Chain A
């Protein structure tokens, strides 16, 4: 188990890499990547059984990014865990890159499915969980959905299926940041009472502060012990978390910080003071 202090420092560096990656790309999704950092860090450093050297390892646990637009956080995590060299991050969204604007399983090691069309990833993950269970395999499947994504009807179809077939090897996380592109989720298309909805769908529901690494790790552990029901962790988060001018701003859903002053400001908010381009030249642990 990696200590919380260390995970916090890793999270800070992941946020740094997300900002640098997006600035270099010139486009991409900042808000929903920053809100999901702790959800992924806790999972990839403390919970997930995986082997970066062998992404197709039979005994691995699966991770599916249903909110595919938040791939910068996944790419930063995969690079930090050694699935591919960190320099690759600076090719995001560019021609010939293995890092597409939304995850593509045939290009990026560690990506299980091609996602980005919202509402499909939960079904893909549920199908994987069902397939593994039918074959008597012990692997768990983790999937991160957006909260805005949960206005897709197919999410609730998958919700019924996972509960009906008692897929206790499936753990979904909802990145509950309350913002979708057009504004607050409750104004655009009300989701609340979201935890009650999932309880009514016969899921094991856990609500956590999605930036609290201790709470997240504990929630994942409770999933592992749960039997006969799939688990939905509602992670209450802040969209754009960690970057002052992005926090709780729907406009930063699909925008990248500009090269220069803007990304420099974002890094300063995260406690990094070296010129932003310097962070592309050094390794993950370099603090500048």
Chain B
């Protein structure tokens, strides 16, 4: 039997977890950067409180620029600033940046290879009561299709902090997708994190569960339940959607012979789509995708919505059983 890998230094999530919003990790990452990197400037579109850029505004007012509610302008302005040697972190909700300002991200930033970092907040249906207008479910396909873009979906607050700090050290556009709600903290300071490298958190070779964002926790819980039934699941935190860690994915497909992906996003073109592209080209095996099934969300509590729209450990288990039946 496999099990949790010691060298991943995960929190002991079985004994209970702290619930912290990943956006806090973004805010802490920005604070660290403001102290250590003169080039960093934090751009905001009237959402300082909810994106945590207010922490920067309070402590480093000279590093905070508010653009008001004008995301298209803000994205291209950040591009302009980046060419003068600054490293702008542009922050707003996912729908307003990946959606509304997509053309600015595409043509000005990615085509022009400008050094802009995008903090895409309020990703996922767990945004909750604000409803579908603010629940961003489409950023993964919208961003990963752009040449030159690096796309990271951190699993929890500590990982989001690491990703934020990493982004400043990388030359080129980066999109960080994170949510609003408190989510289980499963990683620690010692947990390895390298952009572009998917980490195997749990060994197993009956099926591979490849997840990103808060669904990594659900995958670990699912794996524990499956273990009791004698099914040994490998759990992979695939935080970097682009560039995809092809080797880890192909190895998992080859050794496990079946794959389930899990994300808090539309099932079309997201993590599942990215993994499917790899698997069907390099090592075709049965596969299923856990996510939102081509529909918009609705208002509700985060937990209710994740259950209603099929993104909990039970949904992962159901899909695992489907692929196991298909496995020869």
Contacts and interface: CB of A to CB of B under 8 A. Distances in A.
Given A120-B108, A161-B67, A127 B103 contact: no
A154 interface: yes
A134 B41 contact: yes
B107 A125 contact: no
B32 interface: no
Interface residues of B, number: 27
Interface string A206-241: 000000000000000000000000000000000000
B72 A127 contact: no
Contacts of A161: 67-68, 70, 73, 77
Interface of B: 41, 65, 67-68, 70, 72-73, 75-86, 103-104, 106-108, 111-113
B107 A123 contact: no
Contacts of A158: 73, 76-77
21 contacts: A104-B111, A104-B112, A105-B112, A113-B80, A114-B107, A114-B108, A114-B112, A120-B103, A123-B73, A123-B75, A123-B77, A126-B80, A127-B76, A127-B82, A128-B81, A128-B83, A130-B80, A135-B85, A157-B73, A158-B77, A160-B73
Given A127-B79, A131-B80, A157 B108 contact: no
Contacts of A154: 70, 72-73, 76, 104
Nearest to A114: B112
Contact of A124 (B68, B80, B85): B80
A129 interface: yes
Contact of A120 (B41, B68, B104): B104
A160 B104 contact: no
Contact of B83 (A112, A115, A119, A165): A112
Given A127-B78, A160-B68, 19 more contacts: A104-B111, A115-B107, A115-B108, A116-B107, A120-B104, A123-B72, A124-B76, A124-B80, A130-B81, A131-B41, A131-B82, A131-B86, A134-B86, A154-B72, A157-B70, A157-B73, A161-B70, A161-B77, A164-B68
A106 interface: yes
B83 A113 contact: yes
Contacts of B84: 128, 131-132, 135, 137
A117 B106 CA distance: 10
Contacts of B112: 104-106, 113-114
> Which range holds the interface residue count of chain A?
20 to 34
Contacts of A137: 84
A113 B107 CA distance: 10
A244 B41 CA distance: 50
A271 interface: no
Nearest to A152: B72
A131 B73 contact: no
A153 interface: yes
Interface of A: 104-106, 112-117, 119-120, 123-132, 134-135, 137, 153-154, 157-158, 160-161, 164-165
Nearest to B70: A157
B92 to A, nearest CB: 13
Contacts of A153: 72
Contacts of A114: 107-108, 111-112
Nearest to A153: B72
B300 to A, nearest CB: 33
A161 B111 CA distance: 24
A242 B25 CA distance: 60
A123 B83 CA distance: 13
Given A114-B111, A120-B104, A120-B108, A127 B77 contact: yes
B70 A127 contact: no
A106 B114 CA distance: 10
Contacts of B103: 117, 120
A117 to B, nearest CB: 4
Nearest to A116: B107
Nearest to B110: A114
B107 A120 contact: yes
Contacts of B106: 117
Given A105-B112, A114-B107, A131-B86, A160 B70 contact: yes
A137 B111 CA distance: 27
B57 to A, nearest CB: 15
A128 B70 CA distance: 17
A163 to B, nearest CB: 12
B323 to A, nearest CB: 42
Pairs A-B, 9 closest by C-beta atoms: A127-B80, A131-B84, A123-B76, A127-B77, A157-B73, A131-B81, A157-B70, A114-B112, A128-B80
Contacts of B70: 154, 157, 160-161
